């Protein structure tokens, strides 16, 4: 699963991964959480977006989390939660 629009790059801190793991743990066993910052262009001042990837043990847990988190407000931002291609994730391709 990927969570988009959850935090701004300046809001990333050492607690974020634990907070995401704890919240997503309500829906199942979390295998790993990856916080990924992606620059939206080659320019030095290009926008950076944050994607938070959460891998669960079972697909059913992923779907429960998406249903609960998609559209939810977090820190004044509307979260987008959606399925992420497992093969891309396994190959560390986090750019989609």
| CATH of residue 11 | 3.30.70.330
Tell me the percentage of the chain whose pLDDT exceeds 70: 100
**Residue 96, in any domain of the structure:** no
Q: Contact at 8 Å (CB) between 77 and 9?
A: no
Residue 50: CA atoms inside 13 Å, Cβ hemisphere, count? 17
Q: What is the mean pLDDT of residues 4-32?
A: 96
Residue 7: CA atoms inside 13 Å, Cβ hemisphere, count? 18
Strand ranges across the sheet with 48-56: 30-39, 48-56, 2-4, 80-82
CA 30 distance to own-chain centroid = 12
Q: What is the mean pLDDT of residues 71-96?
A: 94
pLDDT on residue 31: 97
Q: pLDDT tens for residues 39-65?
A: 998 898 889 999 999 999 999 999 999
What domain count does the chain have?
A: 1
pLDDT on residue 71: 98
**Residue 61, in any domain of the structure:** yes
Q: pLDDT tens for residues 86-95?
A: 999 999 999 8
Report which DSSP code applies to 11: G
């Amino acid at each position: 699963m990927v969570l988009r629009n959850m935090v701004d790059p300046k809001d990333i801190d050492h607690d974020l991964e634990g907070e995401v793991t704890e919240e997503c743990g309500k829906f199942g066993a979390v295998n790993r959480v990856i916080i990924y910052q992606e620059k939206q262009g080659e320019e030095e001042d290009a926008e950076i977006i944050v994607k938070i990837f959460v891998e669960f043990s079972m697909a059913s847990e992923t779907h429960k989390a998406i249903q609960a988190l998609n559209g939810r407000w977090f820190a004044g931002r509307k979260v987008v939660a959606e399925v992420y291609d497992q093969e891309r994730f396994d190959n560390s391709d986090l750019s989609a």
